[in-house]
Structure 1
C-alpha cells in the first residue's frame, strides 16, 4: 500500500479553492457550496480541517452570508460540523453513513444496470469500451484523479443508456460519504487495475444481454469497499467516527 497522503494544514486552501471567483448567473452560495463539497468529497479538505467563514468570504470576494448558507447546506449533509464556541470543521467520516450510502447506491445502480442492459446497442458498448480503455490508461499511469473521473463517467453512463439520467444525480447525492472513504482506498497497490477488471466483466455480461449477471457483478463490485473498513479506520483513526459494531463491518 502506498504511503497515505499528508493531511492538509488547518485553514490551508486546497488547489480547487485557490483564487476562485464566482461565475456569472450563479448564486455565490451555490458556487461556494459546490467547491467545498467537491474538496471535502475528494479529501482535498480532509476530515477535521478547520473552515473559516472570514477566510472563505475573502477568498471568494463575498460577504459572510453566502458562506454561511453554503456551510449550512454542507452541515445538513453531514459533511461539516459547526461547533459553538469552537469553530467549523470538516466532519469526520461516519462509518454508519458510509454503510447506509453503500446500500442505497447498490439498489440504485442495480436499476440503472438492468435498464442499460435492456437499452444498450453496439454504439453504447463502443462508448463503454472507450471508457474502459481510458480507465486502464490512467490506472497504468497511477493517475488517481483522472481514474476517478473516468470511473464516475463509467457509472453515470448506465443511467444515461438506461434512459434514467436523473438516477445518477440521485446516486451522486447519496454517495458523497462513500467518495471520501473511497479516496483512501484508490492508492492501494493494484486497486485501480482490479476496478478496471470488474468494470470489464460487467460490460461483458451486458453485451450478452445477461442483465442478472451484470447486476450481480455490479453489486459485488460496489460491495468490495465494505470489508476494507476495519483496515482503513486503523490506518487513519482520526478520519473516522466509529459508530458501528464490529459485526456491522463484515
Structure 2
C-alpha cells in the first residue's frame, strides 16, 4: 500500500526522540561557534588595521578586558584575534606582563623592502612592454588623484592611492598575483610607510617618483622605468635611520 508524504512526515515526527526539558536547541553549539568565529575575525581586522595604520602605535598596550567591553563579547574570540596578530609579528604577548603592539623589526623591514624591490622590478619591466593605452591612462589618473590628495593632506586616502598605483602596474604586467605576494610580505613596510607620510613634502615626493616611473613606461624605456622604481623604493631603506631617530621607541633592532 502506498504511503502518502503527509503520513511519512507524521511517522517521522512520532519516532523522533523528544528533546530534554530546558536543553538548548540542537544547533546552538554550532551557532555559538560561528558567532565566536565572526567576533574573532572582527576584532582581528579592527586591531590589525589600527596597528598597520599606526593608530595603535608600536609599544601601545592592549588590554583584553577593555577590548571585550568595547565589543560586548567574551575573552575567547579576543584571545584568538590576538594570537593571529602575534603570529604576524604585530603584537607581543608577555605572560604576566601584558600584550603590546610590537615594535617594527628593522631586520624584517629591510628584508621585506629588498623582496618587494625584486618583485616590483619584474612587474615594471613587463608592464612597460605589455601595458595597454587604457591601463597607462588609469595609472596616470591614479597619479592625478595622488596629487589632489597630497594637496589636501589626506594621508589615509593617499596611502590607498599609492597602493593602487603599484597594484595597477602589477595588473598591467600580466602578473597580478605578484601584488598579492607583495601584500603578504609588506606588513611591516606598511607600518613604516605610514610613519613617513606626515613628513613635510613626503607625499609630493612620492607623486614625483611615481610620475617618473610612468613617464619611462609610456616612453617604452623599461630600464629607466625599473631604475626609477628602484630609486623610489630605495628611499624607504635609506630613510630608516632618519625615522628611527624621530621615533626611537617605535623600532626594534635585532642583536645578532
Calculate the TM-score normalised by the size of structure 2: 0.81
Deviation at 1:230, TM superposition (A): 1.6
Give 1:97-116 correspondences, 5 Å limit: 97-116=108-127
Counterpart for residue 148 of structure 1 = 159
Q: Deviations over 1:22-46 (max 9, x none)?
A: xx9x833233222211111110000
1:242 to 231, 241, 253: 253
Give 1:164-183 correspondences, 5 Å limit: 164-183=175-194
| Alpha-carbon distance in 2 for matches of 1:150, 1:55 | 33
- 2:37 counterpart of 1:31: no
Contact 1:96 1:244 in 2 (8 A): no
Question: What runs of 5+ residues in structure 2 fail to find an aligned partner?
Answer: 1-34
Give 1:1-250 correspondences, 5 Å limit: 27-243=38-254
| Alpha-carbon distance in 1 for matches of 2:240, 2:165 | 24
| Alpha-carbon distance in 2 for matches of 1:123, 1:130 | 10
Deviation at 1:84, TM superposition (A): 0.5
- Count of aligned residue pairs for this structure pair: 221
Counterpart for residue 11 of structure 1 = none
CA RMSD of aligned residues (A): 1.8
| Alpha-carbon distance in 1 for matches of 2:251, 2:214 | 34
Query: The residue matched to 1:45 in structure 2 has which SS?
Result: coil
| Alpha-carbon distance in 1 for matches of 2:133, 2:72 | 49
Q: Deviations over 1:136-160 (max 9, x none)?
A: 1111122211211111111111122
Deviation at 1:244, TM superposition (A): 6.7
| Alpha-carbon distance in 1 for matches of 2:61, 2:199 | 28
Query: The residue matched to 1:88 in structure 2 has which SS?
Result: strand
Q: Deviations over 1:107-138 (max 9, x none)?
A: 11112222322321110111111111100111
Deviates more, 1:77-86 or 1:109-118: 109-118
Q: Which has the larger radius of gyration?
A: 2
Q: 1:115 to 1:45 in 2, by over 3 A?
A: same
Greater per-residue helix proportion: 2
Contact 1:110 1:219 in 2 (8 A): yes
Query: The residue matched to 2:239 in structure 1 has which SS?
Result: helix
